[in-house]
């Protein structure tokens, strides 16, 4: 079904179809199409193939997805139900290793199932209803979290500023608002007239296909640039802040984001531009001490050599290095913008304080 972007939710639940309905991001900007995911294979493929992408949206899709799968588990006994639930959980969790929101959302759904079935000894139909409520709660929380990130990020800039962003941490990566783009959208609503610069983000062009598209659709003054042009902009004084999203924040503040983010951070450090990571607290992983322990997903070679070309643009047999993410050292980060406020160095201490102050 063909839709306009403004009329689409990135991730939603269709209980009539018993399906997760997503906006297929692999078709943008040429086609805006919703697809229904009903099976474990379809949900796994959608996450792995980046039909749904962005850490928050992946988490929401996983939560809704495992609820959809749980509805079809026929077991009446909780132990048998839970055994099958865990099979689905482990399978979906294998789709992408770097974005911690995937495992975070699935573990949260797991806890909801165990509380209902083991601790409260509810019947399986009631366990399924508890899972439904938890999945919808995760989705609604994403909207509220992104708006609060936007408010906190907006406090770091002023009207008329030039803002650079890398990859897509926009509304297409979440349910609404985005993370890195949330300050931009709120500023747009309030007449800040930001000048936004979007890196194209090789090799999958999330900046060109998604960020530039969604910001232009929203009426934001956005300029697209190749990944190797951001330092030139900063040298001219055209960028006053960098906002990027994040797939995982290690305990020490190191942050994994789309490949190329590290280069932007290094350029920002050189030219005195504050570099901010916008991260819902669900992406903060205190079990991972530093960025060195974050697993980095490696992607297929053809994404680099031929995916976007009519003809192959590299010699047959050439070796290809294609990591999906890189890790930005905490020393390059001016602040981590969360829904609870902006954390500054030392990050492990201040991130813990921030979360403990809100009962997390």
Residue 359 has pLDDT above 70, yes or no: no
Hey, what domains does the chain have and what are their CATH numbers? Answer: 5-146 (1.20.120.420), 152-356 (3.40.50.10470)
Q: Does the pLDDT at position 99 exceed 80?
A: no
Please confirm whether the linkage preceding 11 is cis (ω < 30° from 0): no
What is the CA angle 320-324-325, rounded to 5? 120
Q: Which of 340, 316, 10, 12 is nearest to 147 (CA)?
A: 340
Mean pLDDT of 29-46: 96
Closest C-alpha among 166, 84, 176, 182 to residue 124: 84
Side-chain half-sphere CA neighbours of 14 within 13 A: 14
247 is known as an active-site residue? yes
pLDDT, averaged across the chain: 95
The 10 Å Cβ neighbour count of residue 13 is: 21
| Contact residues for 202 (Cβ-Cβ < 8 A; gap 6+) | 227, 259, 260, 304
Whole-angstrom distance, CA of residue 130 vs CA of residue 16 = 18
Dist. CA 8–CA 227, nearest whole Å: 29
Catalytic, out of 247, 254, 285, 329: 247
Confidence of residue 1 (pLDDT cuts 50, 70, 90): very low
User: Measured in whole angstroms, how far is the alpha carbon of residue 354 from the centre of its chain?
Assistant: 21
User: Helix and strand tally (H, E) in the chain?
Assistant: 12, 14
Helix (H) or strand (E) holding 225: strand 221-225
pLDDT in tens, 183-226: 999 999 999 999 999 999 999 999 999 999 999 999 999 999 99
Rg (CA), the chain: 20
Going from the C-alpha of 22 to that of each of 11, 12, 337, 353, the distances in angstroms are 5, 6, 27, 36
Question: Across residues 126-152, what is the average pLDDT?
Answer: 97
* End-to-end Cα, the chain, rounded Å: 41
Give 319: exposed, middle or buried? Use CB within 10 Å, 0-12, 13-18, 19+. Answer: exposed
Is residue 165 a contact partner of residue 231, using CB atoms and an 8 Å limit? no
Query: pLDDT grade, residue 3 (50/70/90)?
Result: low
């Amino acid at each position: 079904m063909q839709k306009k972007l403004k009329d689409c939710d990135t991730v939603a639940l269709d209980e009539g179809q018993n399906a997760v309905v997503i906006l297929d991001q692999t078709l943008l900007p040429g086609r805006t199409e919703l697809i229904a995911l009903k099976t474990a294979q379809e949900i796994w493929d959608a996450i792995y193939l980046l039909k749904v992408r962005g850490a928050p949206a992946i988490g929401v899709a996983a939560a809704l997805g495992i609820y959809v799968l749980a509805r079809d588990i026929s077991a009446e006994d909780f132990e048998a139900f839970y055994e099958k639930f865990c099979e689905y959980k482990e399978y979906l969790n294998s789709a992408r290793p770097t974005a911690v929101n995937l495992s975070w959302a699935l573990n949260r759904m797991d806890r909801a199932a165990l509380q209902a079935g083991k601790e409260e000894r509810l019947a399986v139909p009631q366990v399924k209803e508890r899972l439904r409520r938890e999945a919808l709660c995760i989705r609604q929380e994403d909207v509220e979290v992104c708006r609060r990130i936007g408010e906190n990020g907006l406090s770091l800039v002023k009207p008329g500023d030039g803002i650079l962003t890398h990859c897509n941490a926009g509304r297409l990566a979440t349910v609404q608002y985005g993370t890195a783009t949330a300050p931009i959208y709120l500023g747009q609503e309030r007449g800040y007239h930001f000048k936004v610069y979007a890196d194209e983000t090789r090799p999958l062009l999330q900046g060109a296909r998604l960020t530039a598209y969604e910001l232009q659709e929203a009426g934001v003054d956005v300029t697209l640039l190749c990944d190797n042009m951001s330092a030139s902009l900063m040298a001219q004084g055209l960028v006053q802040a960098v906002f990027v999203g994040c797939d995982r924040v290690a305990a020490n503040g190191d942050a994994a984001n789309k490949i190329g983010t590290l280069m932007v951070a290094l350029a920002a450090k050189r030219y005195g531009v504050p570099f901010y990571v916008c991260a819902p607290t669900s992406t903060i992983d205190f079990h991972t001490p530093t960025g060195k322990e974050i697993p980095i997903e490696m992607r297929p070679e053809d994404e680099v050599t031929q995916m976007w070309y009519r003809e192959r643009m590299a010699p047959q047999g050439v070796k290809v290095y294609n990591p999906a993410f890189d890790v930005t050292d905490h020393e390059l980060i001016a602040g981590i913008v969360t829904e609870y406020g902006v954390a500054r160095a030392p990050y492990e201490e201040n991130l813990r304080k921030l979360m403990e102050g809100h009962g997390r």
